[in-house]
Chains A and B, each alone.
Chain A
């Protein structure tokens, strides 16, 4: 299996604030990210697909098709948007980068798995950089890791946060 990763960029604003918590709790948990005016990021999105290398084309996935799918499902939704106000799901779910990463995975998964011109390929991972110090990865719950062949079951989604 070969893993192909394509990087995209989008700019968006968000506010980290949970209606289920008090103002004091929001401030304590989210700090400056709770500012009512919001703030923004240039997000860097990596979409990884995996599959066998097609004998005829030498490719795992048609990049033009991948760009089209990511453009339509993700960039049109999120680029230059206020995630809290412009994206339906995040009216009721805090648009932390964890949640955005997971949402992007599920937006793409149904469109990439078994789809496109190379039907054996599928979505393996979404990696989302909020800043150069913080990035998040989600691999769904299929028991396959892009960090190398997994010995035995991989029972939970791999959701990592590194940096500070």
Chain B
């Protein structure tokens, strides 16, 4: 199997807050990430698709299709958004990097008809990233 990765970036803000916990618990668990005004990141997303090389095209997937899919299903949903309030999935789930990676998988996997989604890697900063393999 050959793995092909496409990278995209988006900028978004978020707050780490669980309304089921007390304000003190939220501050203790999430620290500065609990700032009610939110904070932001330039997220870097790597979408990895696996498959065999098509003997006619020499490609595993058409990267133009993958780029279009990313743009429509992820970037238009999350880029330049306040995730907690503008992305429906995060109305009831904290937009941690873990949950965002899982949500991106859930957004892409059903729509990826031209290859097999292998991994979502999401960098919150250059020093922190999450991998999700759909299991």
The residues of A with any CB-CB pair to B shorter than 8 Å are 1-8, 48, 53, 56-60, 62-64, 146, 148-149
The docked-state distance in angstroms from the alpha carbon of A63 to that of B96 is 12
Known contacts A2-B102, A148-B118, A149-B135, A57 near B129 by CB under 8 Å: no
Q: Which of A3, A6, A58, A62 interacts with B99 by CB under 8 Å?
A: A58
Other-chain contact of A58, B98, B119, B132, B135 (Cβ < 8 Å): B98
What are 23 A-B contacts with C-beta separation under 8 Å? A1-B135, A2-B98, A2-B101, A2-B130, A3-B130, A3-B133, A4-B97, A4-B98, A5-B128, A5-B130, A5-B131, A6-B127, A53-B99, A56-B20, A57-B94, A58-B94, A58-B95, A58-B98, A60-B130, A146-B131, A148-B118, A148-B133, A149-B133
Most buried by B among A4, A7, A48: A4
Asked if A3 and B131 make an inter-chain contact with CB atoms under 8 angstroms apart, the answer reads yes
Shortest Cβ gap from A9 to chain B (Å): 9
- Neighbour of A56 across the interface among B18, B98, B130, B135, CB < 8 A: B18
CA distance A31 to B116 in the complex (A): 45
Total cross-chain contacts (CB, 8 A): 61
Say if the beta carbon of B23 comes within 8 Å of chain A. Answer: no
Which B residues are CB-close (under 8 A) to A59?
Answer: 96, 98
Residues of B within 8 A of A (CB): 16, 18, 20-21, 29-31, 93-99, 101-102, 118-119, 126-133, 135
Residue of B nearest to A148 (CB): B133
The answer to whether B29 and A57 touch across the interface, beta carbons within 8 angstroms, is yes
Instruction: Return chain A residues, CB-CB under 8 Å to B95.
Output: 58
Chain B neighbourhood of A146, CB < 8 A: 131
Extra contacts besides A2-B102, A2-B132 (20): CB < 8 Å: A1-B135, A3-B130, A3-B133, A4-B129, A5-B128, A5-B129, A7-B127, A8-B127, A48-B131, A53-B98, A57-B30, A58-B16, A58-B95, A58-B96, A58-B98, A59-B98, A60-B130, A64-B31, A148-B133, A149-B135
Please, how many angstroms separate the alpha-carbon atoms of A148 and B119 in the complex? 8
**Contact partner of B18 among A1, A57, A149, CB < 8 A?**
A57
The answer to whether B131 touches A60 (Cβ under 8 A) is no
A4 contact from B18, B118, B130, Cβ within 8 A: B130
Residues of A within 8 A of B97 (CB): 4
B96 to chain A, nearest CB (A): 4
Identify which of A53, A57, A148 contacts B102 (C-beta below 8 A). A53
Check if B133 sits within 8 Å of A7, measured CB to CB. no
Give every chain B residue within 8 A of A6 (Cβ-Cβ): 127-128
Min CB distance, B43 to chain A, in Å? 15
User: Which of chain B's residues have a CB closer than 8 A to the CB of A7?
Assistant: 126-128
Most chain A C-beta atoms within 10 Å of own C-beta, residue among B21, B98, B130 = B98
- Give the residue of B96, B119, B132 whose beta carbon is less than 8 angstroms from that of A57: B96
